[in-house]
Structure formats: C-alpha cells, structure tokens
Amino acid sequence: MNWRDMLAEALGLDPQTVSDDELKAALKAALGTTKAPDPEALNAAIGTAVAAAVKPLSTQVEALSASEVAFKLELEKRDKQSLLDQAGREGKVVALNADAVGKLTVDDLKAHVAALPVTVPLSARTPSVIHEPATKPGPSDSQREIALNCGLDPEQVWPKESK
C-alpha cells in the first residue's frame, strides 16, 4: 500500500476514486489552518501552564519546610531536656525558668550547665547505711499458709533461727 492510499483511508475517502485535489482539500479540512501561532499568546499559555504546575510544588515545599522546622525544634527541645536531666543527676540546680531555657541555644545551655557548681551533694541522695527490714523470727503468715497447703510443717521449712 502506498502513502496516498493510506492517507485517503485515514481521512475516510475511497483510495480508488479520490482525486488528488479532493485528497488535498480533505487533508486541509482535517488539519485546519496552518497559520503559525502568535508568539505572545504561546508564551502566555506556557507561562500559565508552568504557574499551574509550580503552584502545587511550592505548596509541598512550604509544607516540607514547616515540618523540617518543627522537627529541628523538637530535636533542640529534646537536647535541652537531656542537658537539664544530666545536670540534675550530677547534683546541679539549673535556676532558669522554661522561657529562659527556651531562649538559650543548646550550646549556651551546655556551657551554663557546665559552669554550675554541684549544690546538692550526691551523698545526701544515697543513704550511707541501709537497714534490713525488721522481721520476726520464723515463717511469715504467707509462708505458713503455703507450707500448710503443701502438707508440711512451717517450723521445719522456715526455722525460727537462721544459722
């Protein structure tokens, strides 16, 4: 099949009976005008299409930027709380309210905590003598009940005096 016949069939014409002039007229009608588009109109259309494509992307970028800022603030807050907890474990008292801590950077807070003296001796937090709980000699009530349920003599299982 040649191109002329294929073109005639694509335009819905009979390839055997169509003349060249009829084929040209049908092709011009199918294609419309071949006039070049106005460059300013074409640029305006392209600009509108690009703006429509960029707007959702800019919204996504703004959302990502906001979530990144929130994430960084959360990390900074966690780091500051960790520094305050560490100061407490070291026996240091940080005499700053939440607003003052919020205004400091992590490095500034770290330097502030490092400069603080130990004001609460750690020995005051840990007792030097740990006393054993006072117990009466022999089995407790629950031990006695367990031994009796097992059919044993509680005094033989848990003697009054340990050796």
- Spatial distance between the Cα atoms of 130 and 19, rounded to a whole number of angstroms: 116
pTM here is 0.40
pLDDT in tens, 70-107: 888 888 889 988 988 988 888 888 888 888 888 888 89
Asked whether 92 and 116 are in contact (CB, 8 A), the reply is yes
Give the pLDDT band of residue 163 (cuts 50, 70, 90): very low
CA distances from 91 to 84, 87, 97 (A): 11, 6, 18
φ, ψ of residue 18 to 5 degrees: the values are -75, 140
